[in-house]
Amino acid sequence: MGKINWKRAIAGGLVAGFLYDLFEIALSPFVAGRQYEAELNAIRHTPPSAAGYAFFIAWGFVIGVVAVCVYAAVRPRLGPGPRTAAKVALALWVLADLMPQMAQAVMGIFTFNLMIKFTLQQLFFMLATTIVGAWVYREGDAV
């Protein structure tokens, strides 16, 4: 078993994070964004501040880096490739998206309909970005 190539893991994670944020900005308005905004407005939510937007952009990068680092860690046991990356993405999605969003639905903060749309959207984002980030990752000294 090889050691994790941290330079490639971080590089792959940053690529994944950038893509995650790009999906959030470009695709979210078409899937769950309008309904999400309407439900936020219904609970008198104020728009995020600049710091709030910075937090969510950073969140995308953190998700990407964590996903590729976990992929690098499990790769020797599960094998390299998109199937392993998809397994990592699915596990992270359950923890970072599905459970928190369903909790918001159960508490009545948002509707189940919206949370289902949102979590399915996030599943696509997590799968696509983790697979791309894993593609960037290589073990060994190659950079």
pLDDT above 80: residue 1 = no
What mean pLDDT comes out for the span 20-47?
Answer: 87
pLDDT of residue 143 exceeding 50, the answer is no
How far is Cα 136 from Cα 9, in angstroms, rounded to an integer?
Answer: 8
Looking at the domain assignment, is residue 25 inside a domain?
A: yes
Q: Is the pLDDT of residue 125 over 80?
A: yes
Is there a domain that residue 77 lies in? Answer: yes
At 61, the pLDDT band (50, 70, 90 cuts) reads very high
* Residue 142: inside a domain: no
Answer whether residue 1 is part of any domain.
Answer: no
Query: In angstroms, rounded to a whole number, what is the distance separating the alpha carbons of residues 20 and 97?
Result: 13
Looking at the domain assignment, is residue 143 inside a domain? Answer: no
Burial class (CB in 10 A: 0-12, 13-18, 19+), 96: middle
Domain that includes residue 18, residue range: 6-134
What is the pLDDT, as a whole number, of residue 41?
Answer: 85
- By the 8 A CB rule, do 4 and 142 touch? no
6-28 and 112-136 helices, crossing angle to 10°: 140
Say what the pLDDT of residue 12 is: 97
User: What pLDDT shows up at residue 51?
Assistant: 94
User: Is 55 a member of any domain?
Assistant: yes
Total domains in the fold of the chain: 1
Our separate counts of H helices and E strands in the chain read 6, 0
Q: Are 32 and 123 in contact (CB under 8 A)?
A: no
Q: Is residue 23 part of a domain?
A: yes
Q: What is the pLDDT of residue 46?
A: 80
